[in-house]
Amino acid sequence: MNINWYPGHMKKTRELIKEQLKLVDVVYELLDARIPLSSKNPDIDGIIGDKPKVIILNKIDLADPQITSRWVNYFKEKGMTVIPVNTITGEGIRQVIEESQKAIKEKMDALIKKGRKARPARIMIAGIPNVGKSSLINKLAGRKSTQTGDRPGVTKGKQWIRLKGDMELLDTPGILWPKFEDPIVAQNLAFSGAIKDEIMDTETLAYKLLEILWNDHKEKVIERYKINEEYNSTIDIMDHISRNRGCILKGDEIDYSRISNIILDEFRSGKIGRISLERP
């Protein structure tokens, strides 16, 4: 499956990040805990250079907790500041604020030494579409400051938002990169919803996802979809799930479009279980 999606506004976002970088003290790089490497935009490090950065592993409530713990160690061993976060419960939010203040303490102390007044810390948040930026910002701000949605492209332009702990945050729209060199990365991004379903062949996408889940997380698929037979092919599993869910057209044909959307939605919402598609 050949997947590429790089609409014009993403090129503008890349330019916006480069332009606004001089205004900020710290960058939050937001990753999807289920696919930390696939959701890490390879352009970001080159754009932000030496600017202090905090990696935030979001959506830990949807990922396998043991594998998330291994990812935290993976990034720490590379000398990176990394914080796992659940924007539903608020887990990790206080640590994000503390790490941000720590990262700019030296800069603020230098301002005070010069006789100038310490100003609010300025933060930029960057990440791929649909990785939960808006939900994170609302938790950091302690109120609903920005629109959220379970689809890519909800944030349209830059906006400054006041956060707790005397900080200001510059939100930016989700940004991918022009060409996915690795088809597995593109596939993982599509599974997570970072690429718009409207441009996808969702039936093939759901088939590929089900194939991976059956191979690597079989017990979760069996439990979720009440499978009590042994199947050797993905299409037979898909047909079984379709019949269980009543996704049948006239003439007893399988409604593959409907069951594909169900499988994708239930993976993305964690209904199939806490599943990580990548391991360190």
Cα–Cα dist 26/48, whole Å: 10
246 shares its domain with 156:
no
Nearby residues of 104 by Cβ (< 8 Å), 6 or more positions away: 25, 26, 52, 121
Q: Residues 163-181: what's their mean pLDDT?
A: 74
The more confident residue out of 118 and 40 is 40
Q: Examine the pLDDT at 225 and tell me if it is beyond 80.
A: yes
- Domain assignment present for residue 2? The answer is no
pLDDT of residue 115: 83
54 shares its domain with 145:
yes
pLDDT of residue 2: 55
115 shares its domain with 241:
no
Q: What is the percentage of the chain residues whose pLDDT exceeds 90?
A: 49
pLDDT of residue 147: 43
Cα–Cα dist 123/133, whole Å: 13
148 shares its domain with 48:
yes
Full domain range(s) for residue 21:
8-171
- Reported as a single tens digit per residue, the pLDDT across 35-49 is 999 999 888 888 888
Query: Which H helix or E strand runs over 200?
Result: none
Number of independent structural domains in the chain = 2
Q: At 233, which CATH number?
A: 1.10.1580.10
- Domain assignment present for residue 111? The answer is yes
Q: Residues 252-272: what's their mean pLDDT?
A: 96
- Domain assignment present for residue 274? The answer is no
What is the band of 144 on the pLDDT scale with cuts at 50, 70, 90? low
Q: Residues 134-153: what's their mean pLDDT?
A: 66
- Domain assignment present for residue 35? The answer is yes
- Per the listing, tokens 């510059």 go with 170
Q: Residues 83-89: what's their mean pLDDT?
A: 94
CB distance 164 to 141 below 8 Å: yes
Q: Residues 112-134: what's their mean pLDDT?
A: 84
124 shares its domain with 63:
yes
Q: At 127, which CATH number?
A: 3.40.50.300
pLDDT of residue 166: 78
84 shares its domain with 206:
no
Extract the tokens encoding 211. 């194939």
49 shares its domain with 114:
yes
Length of the chain: 280
DSSP calls for 173-196: -----S--SSHHHHHHHHHHT-S-
Cα–Cα dist 108/120, whole Å: 9
Extract the tokens encoding 255. 């409604």
pTM for the full predicted model: 0.85
Residue of 162, 132, 166, 137 lying closest to 149 (CA atoms): 132
Q: Examine the pLDDT at 213 and tell me if it is beyond 70.
A: yes
The more confident residue out of 21 and 212 is 212
Q: Are strands 159-163 and 53-58 parallel, antiparallel or unpaired?
A: unpaired
47 shares its domain with 154:
yes
Q: Which region among 116-130, 146-160, 200-214, 236-250 has the lowest average model confidence (pLDDT)?
A: 146-160
Cα–Cα dist 9/173, whole Å: 9
CB distance 126 to 16 below 8 Å: no
What is the pLDDT of the chain when averaged over all its residues?
86
Q: Residues 85-97: what's their mean pLDDT?
A: 92
- Domain assignment present for residue 73? The answer is yes
- Per the listing, tokens 């301002």 go with 111
Q: Residues 71-91: what's their mean pLDDT?
A: 95
